[in-house]
């Protein structure tokens, strides 16, 4: 065994479990129901996880839209069974758990309510890594005495770390800025699974030189590198990594916890976890699997998407491109779109490819190929080009911006914090939804998702019957 894993002080790797959020989001389109989490909830609490991710990302959206479940109830219910392990959620900065920037009053109310329902750790990120979009969330997280985990989206413009934009200095500077903002921990968030083992070794080693804050790594197995990446990150001193129980791991999800636990046994970074008990918990997920089988993407033989190693385009973005091209009867132009994406992305200021910028760049690239470059411009692309999402990593192309501004008659680009240009929204939402929103939680569901939120509230209060394909198969029994 390498000396580096034996010598020096004992320093167990801490494990965050993502089974109840990113795990089923990645392999089952976020469809896991609360009732299927409860049978193993208490045992999960006993495993010694640093935290359990239970909320955020697409859960809020999917729960009210497709599962007929009140999103606010999940953390409250789980908290009755999971009393020791802190809950963490993924928060898209000023986008909260939606797809656009919300006004500050909505952000404040949302964060306060999330603290109230049991969220202890907030992993905050912004698609552009523009920290001004963290500001309002962070004020409320801190005011509530909760843990602010600052996350930086890992992105590349080439197969390995480096180049003019996403180089070592870029990530180190962002992490320093997060520390200055009052972060309680720092997370490298690699949503596309593109961080490679030796690059993460360099990055974590560098971060460890200047910060005492815990460093957390989140990656996806998508490209096939993630387990190797964790091992090198652990050798470099990463404090916490995200995993899932084996049935919800690999593919486009996180690495599995069980092999990691055994790999580290007997080293100074031994997790101390009991692999037999973890395997037992996985058996429950196998048992409920048939219910969710139809959401499992299994069209391909390969468990990994090796293509992402070559072009850094996240898997979810590719499936969107393909369906968009199919609709336009232009699937034969996919290779041209692959070639167009880096060009359009550069003109758009080289945003990381994560929700929502991945879709914005993808859709515009398809339009550029099919209709001719910037003959058509999507509204979201236009917003991105005038600064409404925030500051892009590199300046946007001035010629393309000129085209955009010509269409937005008289508008000048925004250089300040985007949310400073958004009027308060809650009072207006309250007026529109009226008595259908009976609680502050209802009002937030509507404020975040006006059309599907209103539909959900009609189901919730029996104004309209909940369709059979939405209805939970059995009532969730509280404790
Ligand atoms: Co993720």
User: pLDDT tens digit string along 93-112?
Assistant: 999 999 899 999 999 999 99
pLDDT tens column, 196-251: 999 999 999 999 999 999 999 999 999 999 999 999 999 999 999 999 999 999 99
Question: In angstroms, how far is the first alpha carbon of the chain from the final one?
Answer: 47
Please report, rounded to a whole number, the percentage of residues in the chain having pLDDT higher than 70: 97
For tokens 């919800």, the residue is 248
Name the 3-class secondary structure at 256: strand
Distance from Cα 17 to the centre of ligand 1, integer Å: 12
Residue 7's pLDDT is 87
- Between the CA of 304 and the centroid of ligand 1 the distance, in Å, is 16
**Length of the chain (residues):** 479
For 15, the enclosing helix (H) or strand (E) is: strand 14-17
Query: Quick check: 437 and 457 in contact, CB under 8 A?
Result: yes
Burial class (CB in 10 A: 0-12, 13-18, 19+), 375: exposed
**Section 132-137 average pLDDT:** 98
For 97, residues 6+ apart whose C-beta sits below 8 A from its C-beta are 56, 57, 58, 59, 60, 61, 91, 110, 448
| DSSP conformation letters of 136-178 | HHHHHHHHTT-EEEEEEE---SSSSS-SSSSSHHHHHHHHHHH
pLDDT(72) > 60: yes
Q: Measured in angstroms, how far is the CA atom of residue 84 from the centroid of ligand 1? A: 24
List pLDDT tens digits, range 452-467: 999 999 999 999 999 9
Would you call 355 helix, strand, or coil by DSSP?
Answer: coil
> Ligand 1 center to residue 366 CA distance, Å?
25
Please give the DSSP secondary-structure letter assigned to residue 246. G
Q: Check: CB of residue 426 under 8 Å from CB of residue 105.
A: yes
Residue 312: its pLDDT value, please? Answer: 83
Residue 57 Cα, ligand 1 centroid: separation in angstroms? Answer: 8
Distance 126 CA to ligand 1 centre (A): 13
**Cα of 354 from ligand 1 centre, angstroms:** 10
Which pLDDT score, from 0 to 100, does residue 474 have? 55
Closest CA to 285 of 43, 14, 1: 43
Predicted confidence at residue 477, as pLDDT, reads 41
Residue 211 C-alpha to ligand 1 middle, in angstroms?
24
Rounded to 10 deg, the angle between the 135-143 and 104-116 helix axes is 30
Task: For each of the domains in the chain, give its residue range(s) and CATH number, in order of start.
Answer: 13-295 (3.20.20.70), 313-416 (1.10.472.90), 426-477 (no CATH)
Q: How far is the CA of 399 from the centre of ligand 1 (A)?
A: 35
Is-contact 310 342, C-beta < 8 A?
no
Q: How far, in Å, from the CA of 54 to the mean position of ligand 1?
A: 12
36-58 pLDDT, tens per residue?
999 999 999 999 999 999 999 89
Q: How much is the pLDDT for 294?
A: 85
Burial class (CB in 10 A: 0-12, 13-18, 19+), 327: exposed
Separation of 194 CA from ligand 1 center, angstroms?
Answer: 12
**349 touches 394 (CB < 8 A):** yes
Letter string b/e over residues 227-265, b meaning 16 or more CB atoms within 10 A of that residue's CB: bebbbbbbbbbbbbbbbbbbbbbbbbbbbbbbebbebbe
pLDDT digits (tens, 9 = 90+) for 146-200: 999 999 999 999 999 999 999 999 999 999 999 999 999 999 999 999 999 999 9
407 CA to middle of ligand 1, Å?
Answer: 36
Query: How remote is the CA of residue 220 from the centroid of ligand 1, in Å?
Result: 6
Other Cβ atoms within 10 Å of 142 Cβ, number: 16
Q: How confident is the model at residue 447 (pLDDT cuts 50, 70, 90)?
A: very high
Q: Which residues surround ligand 1, an ion (CB under 5 A)?
A: 22, 191
pLDDT above 90 covers a percentage of the chain that reads: 85
Ligand 1 centre distance from Cα of residue 346 (Å): 24
* 261, 48 Cβ separation under 8 angstroms: no
Torsion of Cα atoms, 37 then 39 then 45 then 50, to 10°: -30
| CA distances for 100 relative to 92, 358, 383, 454, angstroms | 9, 14, 11, 18
For residue 414, the model assigns a pLDDT of 93
pLDDT at position 2 is 56
Backbone angles phi, psi at 58, to 5 degrees: -90, 0
Q: Determine what percent of the chain falls in helix, strand and coil, rounding each to the nearest 5.
A: 50, 10, 40
Tell me the pTM.
0.95
Token couple for 44: 């999960």
């Amino acid at each position: 065994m390498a000396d580096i894993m034996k010598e020096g002080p004992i320093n167990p790797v801490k494990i965050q479990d993502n089974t109840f959020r990113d795990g089923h989001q990645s392999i089952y389109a976020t469809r896991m129901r609360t009732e299927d989490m409860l049978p193993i909830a208490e045992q999960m609490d006993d495993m010694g996880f640093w935290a359990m991710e239970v909320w955020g990302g697409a859960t809020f959206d999917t729960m009210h839209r497709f599962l007929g479940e009140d999103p606010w109830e999940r953390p409250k219910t789980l908290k009755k069974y999971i009393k020791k392990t802190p809950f963490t959620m993924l928060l898209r900065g000023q986008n909260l758990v939606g797809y656009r920037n919300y006004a500050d009053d909505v952000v404040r109310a949302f964060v306060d309510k999330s603290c109230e329902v049991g969220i202890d750790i907030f992993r905050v990120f912004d698609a552009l890594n523009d920290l001004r979009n963290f500001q309002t969330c962070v004020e409320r997280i801190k005011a509530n005495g909760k843990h602010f985990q600052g996350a930086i989206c890992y992105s590349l413009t080439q197969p390995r770390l480096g180049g003019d934009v996403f180089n070592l200095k870029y990530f180190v500077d962002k992490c320093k800025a997060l520390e200055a903002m009052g972060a309680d921990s720092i997370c490298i968030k690699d949503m596309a699974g593109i961080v490679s083992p030796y690059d993460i070794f360099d990055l974590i080693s560098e971060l460890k030189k200047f910060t005492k804050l815990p460093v957390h790594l989140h990656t996806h197995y998508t490209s096939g590198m993630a387990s190797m990446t964790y091992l090198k990150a652990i050798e470099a001193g990463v404090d916490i990594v995200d995993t899932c129980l084996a049935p919800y791991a690999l593919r486009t999800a996180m690495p599995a916890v069980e092999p990691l636990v055994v790999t580290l046994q007997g080293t100074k970074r031994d997790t101390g976890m009991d692999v037999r008990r973890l395997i037992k918990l996985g058996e429950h997920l196998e048992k409920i699997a048939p219910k969710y089988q139809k959401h499992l993407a299994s069209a391909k033989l390969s468990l990994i998407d090796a293509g992402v190693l070559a072009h850094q385009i996240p898997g979810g973005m590719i499936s969107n491109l393909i369906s968009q091209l199919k609709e336009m009867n232009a699937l034969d132009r996919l290779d041209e779109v692959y070639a167009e994406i880096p060009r359009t992305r550069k003109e758009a200021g080289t945003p990381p490819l994560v929700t929502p910028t991945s879709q914005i760049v993808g859709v515009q690239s398809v339009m550029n190929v099919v209709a001719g470059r910037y003959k058509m411009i999507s509204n979201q692309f236009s917003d991105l080009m005038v600064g409404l999402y925030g500051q892009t990593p590199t300046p946007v192309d001035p010629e393309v911006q000129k085209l955009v501004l010509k269409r937005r008659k008289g508008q000048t680009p925004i250089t300040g914090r985007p949310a400073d240009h958004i009027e308060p929204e809650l009072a207006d939402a309250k007026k529109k939804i009226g008595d259908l929103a009976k609680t502050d939680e209802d009002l937030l569901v509507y404020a975040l998702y006006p059309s599907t939120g209103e539909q959900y509230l009609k189901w919730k209060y029996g104004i309209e019957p909940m369709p059979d394909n939405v209805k939970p198969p059995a009532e969730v029994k509280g404790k």
